[in-house]
Structures are given as structure tokens and as C-alpha cells.
Chains A and B, each alone.
Chain A
Amino acid sequence: MPDQLLYAAEVMINGLMAGVLYALVALGFVLIFKASGIFNYAQGVLALFAALTLVGLQEGQVPFAHLINAAFGTEVHHFGWQLPSIVAILLTVGVMILLAVAIERFILKHLVNQEPIILFMATIGLAYFLEGFGDVMWGADVKTLDVGLPQGGSFWIEEKTAVLGGDGFYGFFIDKLDIVATVVAAILVISLTLFSQYSKQGRALRAVADDHQAALSVGISLRFIWVLVWSIAGFVALVAGIMWGAKSGVQFSLSLIALKALPVLMLGGFTSIPGAIVGGLIIGVGEKLFEFTIGPMIGGATENWFAYVLALLFLVFRPQGLFGEKIIERV
């Protein structure tokens, strides 16, 4: 095979891996949108918050240390213990569930029956709040997240694929972390699909998504379902936060991946879990290939906007996305 083609193939594989990570964030969006019709802008910040909490718990940071120091002139920063990863992850899941309860209690409960756009704005407000809250609680410095996931390029794949090309070709460079992320994403999607198809709560969840009032009238607790959905979304955010955090450190830019997840959603359709995955893969591969082929001609850094423009052009032809339900409007 000619080297150029092999490079393109490598770019494509890496794009697929990046796409999986986008899809992980998009998954959280879809879950909440399906169950409550809320377009949850805060999903990215949830991921950031989850990752911050995980690192903070793991390293035994004192929450609000900065604030306490400023207010009382003390010098606290760490408790001085190191929690094992699994304990820290479980604790973080607990925190995310608490957060879901708080969100339902203080925000959603009061906004029942409001227009979708108002709810969307509320989640933007929530995103701001959580971003500030996370920083105040755990500090705004860039943190490294290490929960024992394998990292670095896989030499095995490099060696095995090096034979494909000529002398100048050293094999595909694929990050082990990306492979882990792909596996985790696959497990998540399968288990979420099984959960929503076969469990009692899953059925209730789909009922609420179909029709709030009808669900209420057969005795499904709307509030419980919302807490449940936001907890699951919090859990998905935690997984996404771990993957992204391990890849590029836990920092503010983590919350910006939420913006990247939006075109993924538009491509796949807001209401479809497989759509989120396929959309993520298309965007991931598309932007990497575009950057690889056209990028150098027009100055590079096209990854910033390619996904949006692709989604925009796509929507003009199919407004509900690839797998979305057909939008029917009545007067």
C-alpha cells in the first residue's frame, strides 16, 4: 500500500477514536433530551465537575480550600491521604447522584411546563454555576487524572502494522486509552439500551419521554424519573470526564467538548442513542480527514469549525438528523 494511503488510514482510525469520545458526551445529552425534552447544555460542565471531584477526592484535597483560606486566613489544602481509584470513583458517583437530586429539587421542579427554550437557558445557567462551583471547590489549576488506565501508544499495533508500508512507515500510532474508551463506550451503549428496553425503570423512562401527562396518570413519578435520568447522565459525564481527563488533563477546556457534542447530536438526531454514536464517528473521522487533506491548504486548525459547518449543511437537507424522529408540526 502506498504510504500516503496508510497515513490517511491512520488519521481515520484516530478520528474514529476521537469520535467515540465525542459520542460519550453526546450520549449524556440524548438521555436527558429523550426523557425530559430538556436540551442539557451543562453536560460538558457535568463531565468537568465529575472529573474535578474525582481528582479532588482521590488526592484528598480539602473542598473549598481556597475559599476557606481567603475567608479565615488559614492554610489548609490537603487532608493528606490518597484514596484508591475505585473508592474515589464510587464516591464521585455518589456526588453526581446528589447533584442530580439537587438539580431536580432546586431547578427542574420549578420549571415544569415551561417552554423548552427556558429550560435550555436554565441549563446554561447551571453550566455557569457548576463551572464556578467546581473551581471554588477544587481550585482552577490543571490537574492530572490517573485512575490506572493504560496510556501511550500501543507498540503491539505499531509493530504489527509496520509491515504494511515501506521503509519510511513505522506502523499505526494508536493510543491505548482510545481503545479503552471505545470498549467502555460500547459497553455503556449496550447496557443503556438493555436498561431502557428491559428494566422497569427503563420502561418508565421511555413512557415519560413519550408523554409526561400520560405517564403521570398511570402512576409514574416524574420527579423520580428525572433524578434517575440526571444521575445516569451524571454517570455518563463521569465516564467521559475520566476519558478526556486522562487524555488531556482536567481543566476548563474539558467543558468545551460539550460544544463539540452538539454537532454530533445534530447529525445523529437528538433522540437516538445509536445516532449519537454514529454522529460522533462521522464527526470524528470527518474533521480529522478534512484537517489532514484540506487543512494545510487553508491554514489549518479547521477542527474548530468543521463539525459545525458539516452539521449545518447536513441539516439543511435533513432537519431531524440521521436517526431522529420525523418532526411533525401542527397548528
Chain B
Amino acid sequence: MFYREAGDFKTSYSEDSQTFPIRFDRYRYYAVLVVAFAVIPFVVDDYWANAILVPFLIYSIAAIGLNILTGYCGQVSLGTGGFMAVGAYACYKLMTAFPDVSIVLHVIAAGFITAGVGVLFGLPSLRIKGFYLAVATLAAQFFLVWLFNKVPWFYNYSASGQISAPERTVLGIAVTGPETTAWAKYLICLLFVVVLAWAARNLTRGTIGRSWMAIRDMDIAAEIIGVNPLKAKLTAFAVSSFYIGIAGALFFAVYLGAVEVGEAFGIQKSFLILFMVIIGGLGSIFGSFAGAAFLVLLPVLLKNVLVGGMGWPTDLAAHIELMIVGALIIVFLIAEPHGLAQLWRIGKEKLRLWPFPH
């Protein structure tokens, strides 16, 4: 009834190729932005910000990053946790070395540093493919975590080996450190998410995105029709690591505040983000959001039901959560290998025809 194309006339090419070609979709998108920017900051409390919204936003950035590499360029990476650690430690070193520079610049610079490291570890992708590459990225994961654990320079020789974010402000409002209010945390993450998601969406439908997808679909064929695999693969690694680095920097500075590298950026984190991308949908920006939301909400929900509702011990709930996540992944792969994004697409198709499907 309401999801209509009728009367939605396109009169120029740019209108025809816009991200949301259907008017209703466009308005829905604006409405989401308005709610996110103008409503949620006023109503959000500490629990919602820390348990759901901020992790959701940060994981979304990381998932978009991994989706660019795995979903769009077809290079499976299990080193996400390690790259997030690079972002976090780069941000920490910059924050402590240049206290007068804005934290926003630090986070972006951390992204660029991570991009450099990502390209370095992406170099083997020119020679090795598929599973071999996936395992090779594990080298990045374990080596980087070890490096940040063992070299005291990275954590400024602190006694605990942890890094903790000093207080920094944006426009006079604290966004890191213990004094940060819930809405400030939320807003700074939201800003990054919106800008980065917009950039990702436009990158992936432009020249560079198309060359990534050509490499993903068949790299030899792509090479023959003139896509430079060196350029495509390394840019994918760079852009992906840039996103993941920013996610890592925000994860450390804004969300956690203090970080121990093995715990926060271990191999489990790599898998978590990979699952987000798979469950959400490979090769879809919306899917990255959906997957992040799903895997952030699921544990909270299960915990509330099992521990809060039925009074089961927390360790049992944690194990059952593992089982459910594992089973869900399998069910998703069997029922819908393209993830939540595909369900959303199918739903939209149905809505366009509803209520007269014939």
C-alpha cells in the first residue's frame, strides 16, 4: 500500500542511480537519520548506550570494513581483531603524544596507520588465495596481539600493560575518559558511522567497488578484462583496514576506555565480526548493520531471558548462547546464504507488490 513506485518518475540519470530509488525508502532513511540524531541522544541512558547502541555502532563500522574486504573483494580475513588492535594502539599513542590535537583527527589518523599495516599484511594475497589467505591473515592476528603485549613502547611502559584513554573533548564536550556522558559517546560514534557508511556505499558502487567485485567473482577473468589485481586487492585491504582501524580506535577510546589487548582484540573478535558479516549478508552495507545489530542484541536478549527471566546461572547461559549462535549460523547458511540483507531485499520485493501480488 505504502511502498509504491507508481508516480515516482525519474527525470535524470543521477536520480535513476541514487542509493534509494524509491521515494518511500528515501524518506524512511531520512526518518532514521532524524531519529538517530535528534531523538535518541535525548533519551539514551547509560545502560542503553553501553550495552547496545555504542557497541552496535562500532561493530557496524568494523563489519562494513570486513564486508568491503570479504564481501566485495572476496578475500577472507581472520585478522580483524589484530587490525582493530592496531587502530586502538595507534589512537592511544597519538592521543598521548599530541594531547592538543583533536581526538577526531587522532581516530582518523589511526585509521590511516591501520590501512598501512593492512596493506602490508595484504601483500601475500597477491600470491595466495582462499583458505590459504584466511590462514595467512591469522599470522597478522597473532603477531600483532603479541607485539602489543610484548613491546612496552606501545603501552607507554604502563605497569599493568593496559592502555587507558585520557579525557579528550570535542567542542568542549568530553567524549573519552570516565566523565563521558552516554549521549556524547553515542553521538561521536554515530557521526563516524554515518560518514563512513555513506563513503562505503559510494565507494562500492563506483569504479573501485566494481573492480573489487570483479576480483571477487573471478580474479583471473577480471585480470584478463583489464582489472589490475594488485591495485584492486591492495586498495580493498587498505580501505577495509582503515574502517577496522577506526572501529578499533573508537572501541578503545570511546567505548571501553581501558583495554588489554589479548582480551579485547583476540581471535574471538575476528570471528565475531566475520559472523556479523555472514549473518548480515556478504556484499551489502545494510547487511553489515543488520549483522552487527543481530549479534549485539542476541547476547543481551538471551541473558535477559535465561538469567533474568528463568534464573539460570550465567555460565550456563553463556554456553547456551554459544550453541545458539553456532546453530543460527548454520541455519542461516542453509536457509539463506546471503544473510539478513537478502531477507530484507525479498521483503521489499514483496512489499512492492503487496496487497496485489499478481
Residues of A within 8 A of B (CB): 39, 66-67, 70-71, 106-107, 110-111, 114, 116-118, 120-122, 124-133, 135-136, 140, 259, 262-263, 265-266, 270, 298-302, 304-305, 308-309, 311-312, 315-316, 319, 329-331
| B353 interface residue per 8 A CB criterion | no
Which residue of chain B has the shortest Cβ distance to A270 in the bound complex? Answer: B131
The reply to whether B327 and A125 contact each other, CB–CB distance below 8 Å, is: yes
Listed A/B pairs (27) with beta-carbon separation below 8 Å: A70-B310, A70-B312, A71-B310, A111-B334, A116-B130, A117-B76, A120-B134, A121-B278, A121-B333, A124-B275, A124-B329, A125-B327, A125-B328, A125-B329, A125-B330, A128-B325, A130-B326, A132-B321, A132-B324, A135-B322, A262-B138, A265-B135, A300-B150, A305-B142, A311-B135, A312-B139, A316-B128
Q: Check B198 for interface membership: any CB of A closer than 8 A.
A: no
Tell me how many residues of B have a C-beta within 8 Å of chain A: 51
A114-B337, A132-B319, A301-B146 known; A331+B330 contact, CB < 8 A:
no
B139 touching A309, Cβ below 8 Å = yes
**A308 near B143 (CB under 8 angstroms)?**
yes
Residue of A nearest to B278 (CB): A121
Instruction: Give chain A nearest CB distance to B212 CB in angstroms.
Output: 16
Q: Report A-chain residues with C-beta under 8 Å of the C-beta of B76.
A: 117, 120
Residue of A nearest to B323 (CB): A132
Judging by beta carbons under 8 Å apart, are B124 and A316 in contact?
Answer: yes
CB distance from B310 to the nearest CB of A (A): 8
Contacts of A270 in B (CB 8 A): 131
Whether B136 sits at the interface, judged by CB under 8 Å, is yes
CB pair A308 B135 closer than 8 Å: yes
Q: Is B218's CB within 8 Å of the partner chain A? A: yes
Contacts of A299 in B (CB 8 A): 150-151
The reply to whether the CB of B346 lies closer than 8 angstroms to some CB of chain A is: no
Chain B residues proximal to chain A, CB less than 8 Å = 76, 124, 127-132, 134-136, 138-139, 141-143, 145-146, 149-151, 218, 220-221, 224, 267, 271, 274-275, 278, 310-313, 315-316, 319-330, 333-334, 337
Task: Evaluate whether A128 and B323 lie within 8 angstroms (CB atoms) in the complex, with A140-B315, A311-B136 already known.
Answer: yes
> Do A331 and B224 have beta carbons less than 8 Å apart?
yes
A117 to B274, CA, bound (A): 12
Q: Which residue of B lies closest to A106 (CB)?
A: B330
Are A127 and B326 closer than 8 Å at their CB atoms? yes
B221 touches A331 (CB 8 A): yes
Could you say which of B135, B141, B320 contacts A132, with CB atoms under 8 Å apart?
B320
**A70 in complex: contacting residue of B124, B145, B275, B313, CB < 8 Å:** B313
Give the residues in chain A near B315, CB-CB below 8 Å.
140
Measured between alpha carbons, how far is A130 from B130 in the docked complex, in Å?
Answer: 25
Minimal beta-carbon separation of A131 from chain B (angstroms): 6
Inter-subunit contact B327/A129 (CB<8 Å): yes
Report yes or no: B135 in contact with A263, Cβ–Cβ below 8 A: yes
Contact of B131 among A120, A298, A300 (CB under 8 A): A120
The 7 closest A-B pairs by CB, nearest first: A129-B326, A132-B322, A128-B326, A125-B329, A132-B323, A308-B139, A299-B150
Do residues B131 and A39 form an inter-chain contact, with CB atoms below 8 A?
yes
State A270–B322 Cα separation when bound (angstroms). Answer: 29
When distances are taken between beta carbons in the complex, the residues of chain A under 8 Å from B311 are 70
The answer on a CB contact under 8 Å between A304 and B142 is yes
**Would A136 and B323 count as touching, CB distance under 8 A?**
yes
What's the nearest-Cβ distance from chain B to residue A62, in Å?
A: 15
Residues of the B chain whose Cβ atoms lie less than 8 Å from the Cβ of A118 = 333, 337
Pick the residue among B127, B267, B333 that contacts A316 (CB under 8 A).
B127
Q: A117-B130, A125-B333 are in contact. Are A308 and B124 (CB under 8 A)?
A: no
Is A126 a contact of B220 with CB atoms below 8 Å?
no
B139–A305 CB distance below 8 A: yes
CB neighbours (8 Å) of A265 from chain B are: 135
Q: Is the CB of A309 within 8 A of B135?
A: no
A319 touches B330 (CB 8 A): no
B227 to chain A, nearest CB (A): 13
CB neighbours (8 Å) of A129 from chain B are: 322-323, 326-327, 330
The distance from the CB of B146 to the nearest CB of chain A, in whole angstroms, is 5
> What's the least CB distance linking B308 to chain A, in Å?
14
With a CB–CB cut-off of 8 A, which chain B residues contact A106? Answer: 330
- CB-CB under 8 A from A130, the residues of chain B are 326
Q: How far apart are the CA atoms of A121 and B320 in the complex, in Å? A: 20
C-alpha spacing A157/B167, complex, angstroms: 60
Closest-by-CB residue of B relative to A300 is B150
Chain B residue contacts of A329, Cβ below 8 A: 220
A298 touches B333 (CB 8 A): no
What CA separation (Å) do A305 and B124 show in the bound complex? 17
Contact of A136 among B142, B221, B319 (CB under 8 A): B319
